[in-house]
Chain A
Amino acid sequence: MIFGYAGKFLEVDLSTKTFRDVRFEEEVLRDYVGGRGLAAKILWDRLGGRWENVDPLGPENILLFLTGPLTGFFPGGRICVSGKSPQSNGVVGSTVAGEFGIELKCAGYDGLIILGEAEKPVYLFVKDSDIEVRDASHIWGMDAKQTVATLTKECRELFGKRYPRKGLWKEPAILYIGPAGENYVRTAVVAAKWTHAAGYGGYGAVMGSKRLKAIAVKGTGPLPEVANLEKVKMLMQEVCNGAYENELWRRWGTGSGGYSFGAKTSSEPIRNWQEEWHDERSFGVDQFENRVWVKSYWGDFGCPTTCLKLAVVKSGKFKGAITDNPDYELQAYLGTNLGIFTPEENVYLASVIDDLGLCGIQTGNVLGFAAELFQRGILTAEDLDGLELRWGDAEAFALLARRIAYREGFGKILAEGTYRAALKIGKMKGMDVMPYAVQVKGIGVGAHGIRSGRDYPEIYSYACSVQGGDHTSVACMPIGDSRSELIIIFHDSGVYCHFNVFNIDSNVPFKFYEAVTGLELTKDMWVNTKALKILHLQRAMLLLGGPDFRWKPETHDDNPLRFYEPLPSGPFKGKAARKKYVDEEKRKYYKAVGWDKRGVPKSETLRRLGLEDVDEVLKKLR
């Protein structure tokens, strides 16, 4: 038994409504830790042999909700959602903040393994060892706010009924999907607390395909015992002290980027990335703070940063719209990327996206894609069921988002996400529209451009990442760099918020791991062995892909075509990624992680890492 773990996982088969406890060998937990790493391991072991044939939206997909040993201890609690991604056909470790992981560990489980699919809508109820697959027909179809209100009330009543006492029950932690997930929209999220989302990967669609509307969990036990409590307390304080110094993010959250990435680094998506520069001061974070914020610090379990803020539109036609910050990504993707430059319209659109259970980034990406096609006359109002999709028209974008969530009219095509929609529209119009699709391997690129060279991703970062366009996990050299996804894999496998690591020494997370688990682990050990193993499992499943298509590394390990077009405006006007340079850097990266010239993991690398079985399966790709 390793310290920091509850010691067992709950496996639920929705087809048969049966469940059982699952325990992993200590060696598996030592190597794959939890969250993203363990997800890759579970998916490979159970589905690796037939990966190409597994439909991400079919009953054979496995949906995972995994904590890690550091969840609840490292400040900033999260839970990792994973499975075969309906966006990339690979594996994404998609994390969402909140109390879910803490409640789950306090209930005695390190994670949930969801199999099969329910016949009718259900939700999973977990109160310590009291597990029930419950009817969800009364909440199916509800938006985020209705779902949370109904389940909070219902579960508290259930607690009271089953465990009678006069003291009051707190709410359970709830993960849920909105209408978009129910309609297996590929840009649907697994959400928490109205505005929090595990967005990348599209696991809301997987949850919907299993007819699993929500999971509510209450754990009444303590978090698991740790190896060295005094050390853990000391490290918690160290992480918090670092975060307390980070005034920019504490005060403004990532929303500060809405102006700085646009005006200064020139790396913000504007009108589907046709530009990456704007100098619209009225869309700065101070305007959000003064006009719409009703709470300046909002956060989740144990978080010292509380980078979220609550925003409410106070007047005008969008009065009453509620969302969080919006953070930088949503200011960009539901703001500038759609030609929207007022806090009120931005908050309104973010609230619509929250309520529908859509991903603000992926949906903002596909909406921007559609709007550019409209701008160019490739899509007409007739194609769009009468909608004039003009830049800056928040209501038009909100309407189209609804049609996406409910798969109505043209929304049905856009519900497939940018890459698949581009394939369909290309066929429909008899022309290649992929140059307007700003995505990598099925995943819309996060709101950090590479053309100016002033933001954090490198020119090969998205192209080589095992999570495609995901801006939270990008490829970087040296591979032990704090921006590298080999380090990010640690945060996503220990499962905590990596926004709390910016002001601390890069060895602290590993010291934290040692203090919690009692196992030795240094950054070097991690990067050169364990992290590489996880990266290779993810790479293998990404390349195997299927069933609708398979990525070819020589073609698809690349930037969106847009990034090769020179920036048309701003201080870095004229700058663009150069193909030759990207290819050179790509090859260096392949070498650094042990892939061959085509980008396929080398046999010798896999064997050195003890992944002989992966090597066998990858033979067909060589």
Chain B
Amino acid sequence: MASKKEPIWIARDLSKCSGCRKCEVACSLFHEKRIWPEASRVRVFMLIPGVEFPHFCVQCEDYPCVQACPVKALFVSNKTGAVLVNNEACIGCEKCVEACPGRVPHMHPKENHILICDLCGGDPQCVKACQSGSWSVLRVISRGDHVYKLYARTPEEITRDLAVKIYGEKGGQFL
């Protein structure tokens, strides 16, 4: 997506998510060279059937996860604005998870380090997968001066809102 001025942001329209999880497939194939949903940096939650959505880093303006890291294993990419993890330095303390307003980071299922979306160095594979099927839940845009942190919400919070949007006022009861 070279046409977008860096740093970039992944705009998201969650209620349109089909739940196909192609973003998880693309992410894990890119980063792990395997199809590995639990090791994907973007995870599709389905706490209620029909209410699927991709859950991944929003790059908060103040990067609370980076600030919370006791060993400075997290840092911000100058180029893309993504949070990058130094896997060797990471001690798996999960302080970043606690600091994240959306509880987004999660541990690698087999290795002792945290997983956070790195925007694939500026060419996010999840977006390509989502666009290729024209679901377009995810879209790359240039990062501006917005309150991206508002998007950092827990899966439960997002589910509750989307369930009401999709199923009506009683949607939350399925949680």
Distance in angstroms between the alpha carbons of A298 and B167 in the assembled complex: 14
Contacts of A148 in B (CB 8 A): 48-49, 174
Contacts of B141 in A (CB 8 A): none
Which listed residue (A73, A106, A170, A294) contacts B45, Cβ 8 A? A170
Cβ-based interface call for A270 (8 A): no
Residues of A220-243 contacting chain B, CB below 8 A: 220-223, 225, 229, 233, 240
Give 1 or 0 for each of A131-161: 1 = CB within 8 Å of chain B CB: 0000000000000010011001100000000
Give 1 or 0 for each of B105-129: 1 = CB within 8 Å of chain A CB: 1110110001000000000000000
Cβ-based interface call for A171 (8 A): yes
Distance in angstroms between the alpha carbons of A152 and B155 in the assembled complex: 13
Give 1 or 0 for each of B4-26: 1 = CB within 8 Å of chain A CB: 00000000000110111110010
Distance in angstroms between the alpha carbons of A301 and B26 in the assembled complex: 12
CB pair B133 A195 closer than 8 Å: no
Cβ-based interface call for B66 (8 A): no
Cβ-based interface call for A410 (8 A): no
The chain B residue with its CB closest to the CB of A311 is B50
CB pair A300 B45 closer than 8 Å: no
Distance in angstroms between the alpha carbons of A240 and B20 in the assembled complex: 12
Distance in angstroms between the alpha carbons of A153 and B32 in the assembled complex: 29
> Which range contains the number of B residues in contact with the other chain?
35 or more
The answer to whether A220 and B132 touch (CB under 8 A), given A145-B174, A166-B98, A168-B103, is no
CB distance from B43 to the nearest CB of A (A): 6
CB pair A297 B155 closer than 8 Å: no
CB pair A194 B49 closer than 8 Å: yes
Distance in angstroms between the alpha carbons of A301 and B44 in the assembled complex: 10
Cβ-based interface call for A312 (8 A): yes
Distance in angstroms between the alpha carbons of A244 and B133 in the assembled complex: 6
Distance in angstroms between the alpha carbons of A300 and B22 in the assembled complex: 9
Distance in angstroms between the alpha carbons of A73 and B15 in the assembled complex: 26
Contacts of B166 in A (CB 8 A): 294-295, 310, 312
Distance in angstroms between the alpha carbons of A284 and B18 in the assembled complex: 23
CB pair A171 B20 closer than 8 Å: no
Cβ-based interface call for B34 (8 A): yes
CB pair A222 B107 closer than 8 Å: no
The chain A residue with its CB closest to the CB of B170 is A320
Cβ-based interface call for B29 (8 A): yes
Cβ-based interface call for A392 (8 A): no
Which listed residue (A166, A222, A312) contacts B97, Cβ 8 A? A166
CB pair B170 A299 closer than 8 Å: no
Which listed residue (A167, A299, A320) contacts B107, Cβ 8 A? A167
CB pair A220 B50 closer than 8 Å: no
The chain B residue with its CB closest to the CB of A103 is B37
Cβ-based interface call for B91 (8 A): no
Cβ-based interface call for B79 (8 A): no
Q: Which 7 A-B pairs have the closest CB atoms?
A: A167-B106, A222-B36, A222-B34, A166-B94, A220-B109, A193-B49, A297-B18
Chosen A-B contacts, 27 in total, with CB atoms closer than 8 Å, are A99-B37, A106-B37, A148-B48, A149-B48, A152-B48, A153-B175, A166-B97, A167-B103, A170-B43, A170-B44, A170-B46, A171-B45, A171-B46, A221-B36, A222-B28, A223-B35, A223-B36, A244-B133, A244-B134, A295-B15, A295-B18, A299-B20, A302-B21, A303-B18, A306-B20, A322-B50, A322-B167
